[in-house]
Amino acid sequence: MPKQAPLPKQAKLLKAKLSAKKHAHLHIDYLDIDGRKVPVTALHNPRARRIIVRVDLAAGSVQVTSPTKRAMGQALAFAREQSQWIAERLEHVPAPVPFIAGAHIPYRGREHLIRHVSRQMAAAAGQGPVWRRGSSETGGMPEICVSGDPSFVERRITDWLKGKAREELNERALAYADDFDVRPARITMRDQTSRWGSCSPSRALSFSWRLIMSPPHVLDYVAAHEVAHLRHMNHGRHFWALVGKALPNYESAKRWLEINGPGLHRYGANPFGGMDDEAD
């Protein structure tokens, strides 16, 4: 059999990226912490050297990582043994904010009030089922208005935010694609929990719809970041030079996500987000 030629550098990077994608969530369970059901995601990662429990201080969820698939049950048992440690950290978790009338949520980096209105008001305004009213119209805090049955509010707000995210991130991604002389195969919105965007080896871009709750310059940064991966499938010097050329002040957006990003996962129905604390 002829000897296989060594993989070129780019191919090795793509292979490593594909391999990393195999480490997906394998199991979701719940812990009973002081009478409260806390979601636990069990993850297999062969690069882990030990069983690790992490607590998401923004979303109030727990992740347990196991170095082997066979030890998944042991990992969940270990998480249960750490219930007191988890409970102490969950005391600092901000309360979740469901999409209901009267709730305050961020939209494009600014706090908005969710206001439920009658169908008649929506018809009179020529709007519906969801629309935004700025401060100049409300005389105070801007509002996101929702008409129809009150039980539809959460779904309609979620769909509206996803639609706005799709519009804005598609526009930004395609603009940076023109600037970088690249072309994505497709662009999708997801509720990603461990990252704000991704670029696959097949040139598909994916973004978290929750980014629409962040300031516009943060959307610009994440869009430029992922599109830049179409040129450089790594985080090397040339990659950051390309991002910096498009956005000289990208560090401020990157820092905003590090500080405020995890908190975006407490809005709406999804309890899972990035991990902030750990035990081993």
Domains with residue ranges and CATH for the chain = 23-93 (no CATH), 104-156 (no CATH), 163-266 (3.30.2010.10)
pLDDT of residue 28: 64
pLDDT of residue 193: 67
Question: Longest Cα pair distance anywhere in the chain, in angstroms?
Answer: 77
What kind and span of H or E run contains 15?
Answer: helix 9-21
Q: pLDDT tens digits, the chain, 280 residues: what are they?
A: 444 444 444 444 444 444 444 444 455 677 777 777 777 877 778 888 888 888 876 666 788 888 887 777 788 888 888 888 888 887 777 778 999 999 999 999 999 999 999 888 778 778 879 999 999 999 999 999 999 889 999 999 999 999 999 999 999 999 999 999 999 999 999 987 668 999 999 999 999 999 999 999 999 999 999 999 999 999 999 999 999 999 999 999 999 998 888 788 889 864 444 444 444 4
- The reported pTM is 0.70
What is the chain's percent helix, strand, coil content, to nearest 5? 40, 25, 35
What's at 230, amino acid-wise?
L
Report how far residue 273's alpha carbon sits from residue 238's, in angstroms, rounded to the nearest whole number.
30
pLDDT of residue 195: 83
Residue with tokens 């043994």: 81
Spatial contact of 153 and 129, defined as CB atoms under 8 Å apart: no
Burial state string for 152-179 with b = 16 or more CB within 10 A and e = fewer than 16? ebbebbbebbbebbbebbbebbbebbee
Burial state string for 16-54 with b = 16 or more CB within 10 A and e = fewer than 16? ebeeeeeeeeeeeeebebeeeebbbbbbbeeebeebbbb
